[in-house]
Amino acid sequence: MDARLFEGAIVTGCDCPICGTALHEVVYEGVTILACLACGGRALNHEQVETILARHESDFTPEQRRLAREFARGHGLRAVSPDKPGTQAREPAASVTPRESALACPQCRDEMRRGQWTARHPVPVDRCTRCDLVWFDRDVLELLQILVEE
């Protein structure tokens, strides 16, 4: 589990749109969000994302930094600095490729729409237009943080 996550209660009726596991309320960088402890996906509203982006985080894994460098290079964005010496790698990060089918919002069950966070930070997210929930696949929230911070 990510060192920045503090596990909380299972949220009844909110299941992961990727793997179907019950979502947990967790604290991520001081913000209570919904997270799948099985696949690593996270659900937040726009305000929660902006609060997290306003904070400076420097404890990203080498794999998250590698993903950010490759993503930035592939999208013509400014280069991302390499990871710090001595940081530990972990299993491979989530894919940032297009999704084959729409996800169901874990909160209201409406169909989510796949798109970019913003034109300036084009990381892939799934948004629910009904309840404002945004789904981030594993490591994609960190990818966005790295791009915004650098």
141 closest CA partner among 80, 53, 78: 53
Q: What is residue 122's predicted lDDT score, i.e. its pLDDT?
A: 92
Q: What is residue 60's predicted lDDT score, i.e. its pLDDT?
A: 87
How do residues 84-96 score in pLDDT, each as one tens digit? 544 444 444 445 5
Between these two residues, 21 and 96, which has the higher pLDDT value? 21
Q: What's the pTM value of the predicted model, to 2 decimals? A: 0.81
Q: How far apart are CA 59 and CA 11, in angstroms?
A: 28
Q: What is residue 92's predicted lDDT score, i.e. its pLDDT?
A: 40
Structure-token pair, residue 132: 């404002």
